[in-house]
Amino acid sequence: MLDLRVLVTGGAGFIGSHLCERLLAAGCRVTILDDFNDYYDPALKRRNIEGMRDRLEVVEADIRDAVLLERCFAKGNFDVVIHLAARAGVRPSIANPKLYMTTNIEGTFNLLDACRYYGVKNFLFASSSSVYGVNTKVPFAESDPIERTISPYAATKLACEQICSNYSHLFGIRMRCLRFFTVYGPRQRPDLAIASFTAAILDGRPITRFGGGQSLRDYTYIDDIVEGILLSMSDQGGQYQVINLGGHATTSLSHLIEMIERYTGNKARINEAGEQAGDVPKTYADVNKAREILHWEPKVPLETGLERYVAWVKQQREQ
């Protein structure tokens, strides 16, 4: 991995900033491409990369801007593109589906086309467990037929996997579409359940528990996700692969809240609400393919990861 030139889109975000730290430590030359949009406070993203700015290049650009992307690729001479940038979140995609279609699908197409014209032969795409939709078979395996996504966000991720497959087949680009399962840890987006619940419980504010707390999620700690991405850069699994990266365990929303109560030392004030549109009832990753191709295994159980996360939040509040 030493001396690879790597472009990380969305590199100032939660997953991207952790990944960039690891890439720099491995000796890579890293360029971040991020538009620092206001989906959440851009100051948080700038803070994520504050300690790395003198060791990498930061390009502020929107992946929908093909002209700016072309300039970035012409200058960068990249060996690998790791595409994390996207409009994220199920519920906002229902409120504004056009933004998700243009950013996620058109933006991914622009990046793939730039790879085609500038000879980049290694592309990693951050997909999502949401593509499985209302899949009733568990755990979810990459070979499962996907027949019913239930949010625009999920639909864009599945569409991008197909475009990646096209470009791999037609233009010889090595592709890895990595389906992330509910990633959490330090620096995670403030709108995500673990972050918002932890902050509210520490502050004594009420939280909303949807669907009676019965939904099940497979939570994956950030360190495990980053390790999976790094291993995907050089595995020998062939030209195109879709690979799950998940914790290979499920936890109910109610149990998640109980664990956060335990580690914060505070009792949650809970408001009950019905099920939310676009939310799948459960996610659960079959990680056998990741084991076989990447020799990857999730190492951080939810209890450990949550304890680390709550400790990090408390530390941030003390600064």
DSSP letter string over the chain? -TT-EEEEETTTSHHHHHHHHHHHHTT-EEEEEE---TTS-HHHHHHHTGGGGGGSEEEE--TT-HHHHHHHHHHH--SEEEE------HHHHHH-HHHHIIIIIIHHHHHHHHHHHHT--EEEEEEEGGGGTT--SSSB-TTS------SHHHHHHHHHHHHHHHHHHHH--EEEEEEE--EESTT--TTSHHHHHHHHHHHT-EEEEEGGG--EE--EEHHHHHHHHHHHTT--S-SEEEEEE--S--EEHHHHHHHHHHHHT-PPEEEEE-PPTT--SB--B--HHHHHHH-------HHHHHHHHHHHHHHHHH-
What pLDDT shows up at residue 1? Answer: 62
Give the closest residue to 73 by CA, choosing from 112, 23, 14, 114: 114
Q: Cα 235 from chain centroid?
A: 20
DSSP β-bridge partners for residue 125: 83, 177
The span from the CA of 247 to the CA of 179, in Å, is 12
User: Could you read off the pLDDT of 130-161 as tens digits, one per residue?
Assistant: 999 988 899 999 999 998 899 999 999 999 99
DSSP β-bridge partners for residue 128: 180
Does residue 33 contact residue 59 with C-beta atoms inside 8 Å?
yes
pLDDT at 2 > cutoff 80: no
User: Could you read off the pLDDT of 12-41 as tens digits, one per residue?
Assistant: 999 999 999 999 999 999 999 999 999 999
The span from the CA of 192 to the CA of 197, in Å, is 8
User: Could you read off the pLDDT of 169-203 as tens digits, one per residue?
Assistant: 999 999 999 999 999 999 999 999 999 999 999 99
pLDDT at 103 > cutoff 70: yes
State the distance between the two ends of the chain, measured CA to CA, in whole angstroms. 35
The proportion of the chain whose per-residue pLDDT surpasses 90, expressed as a percent, equals 90
CB contact set of 191 (below 8 Å; sequence gap of 6+): 40, 89
User: Could you read off the pLDDT of 250-287 as tens digits, one per residue?
Assistant: 999 999 999 999 999 999 999 998 888 777 889 999 99
Give the closest residue to 161 by CA, choosing from 120, 119, 112: 112
pLDDT at 211 > cutoff 90: no
Confidence of residue 233 (pLDDT cuts 50, 70, 90): very high
pTM for this structure? Answer: 0.96
What pLDDT shows up at residue 280? Answer: 83
Does residue 149 contact residue 201 with C-beta atoms inside 8 Å?
no
User: Could you read off the pLDDT of 40-98 as tens digits, one per residue?
Assistant: 999 999 999 999 999 999 999 999 999 999 999 999 999 999 999 999 988 899 999 99
Q: Determine which one of 100, 132, 153, 184 is catalytic.
A: 153
Instruction: For domain 5-183+221-248+284-299, give its CATH number from 3.30.300.30, 3.40.50.720, 3.40.640.10, 3.40.50.2300.
Output: 3.40.50.720
Active-site residue, 153 included: yes
Where are the domains positioned within the chain?
Answer: 5-183+221-248+284-299
Does residue 311 contact residue 244 with C-beta atoms inside 8 Å?
no
